[in-house]
Amino acid sequence: MTPIKIKELSLVSLLCLSTQVFAAAPNIQGSVNINVEVGNVVNYAEATDSVAQIAIGSMSEGDAGGFDATVVVGDVVNYATGMGSCSQILIGSVGVPSCVAGSAAE
């Protein structure tokens, strides 16, 4: 499996598990293989109670197997600028993690 290569990370969720979702949890049988290569990542929450979230090659909920993803992405820029705003990018991910404002992420 190709190693994950990430540069300049801030608040990035990689190959993580979360129980917060809006969609039905997947149930995929077999092995899981996720290869991710990303360039520069800028993730910034500017205002109080705003959240900027990037999930790359992530599993938010459910069982995964037989899942083979190869993801190559250039530069990623994600900003949450208004008070209480949420900005979210999902790349090569399974499920939909929630983006909940109010955590004062900076």
Q: Domain spans of the chain?
A: 5-91
Look-up of token digits 């290869």: 35
Instruction: For residue 73, count CB atoms less than 10 angstroms from its CB and return exposed for 0-12, middle for 13-18, buried for 19 or more.
Output: middle
Strands 12-14 and 51-56: parallel
Say what the pLDDT of residue 7 is: 42
Q: What is the pTM of this model?
A: 0.51
The whole-angstrom distance between residue 55's C-alpha and the CA centroid of its chain comes to: 0
Say what the pLDDT of residue 3 is: 46
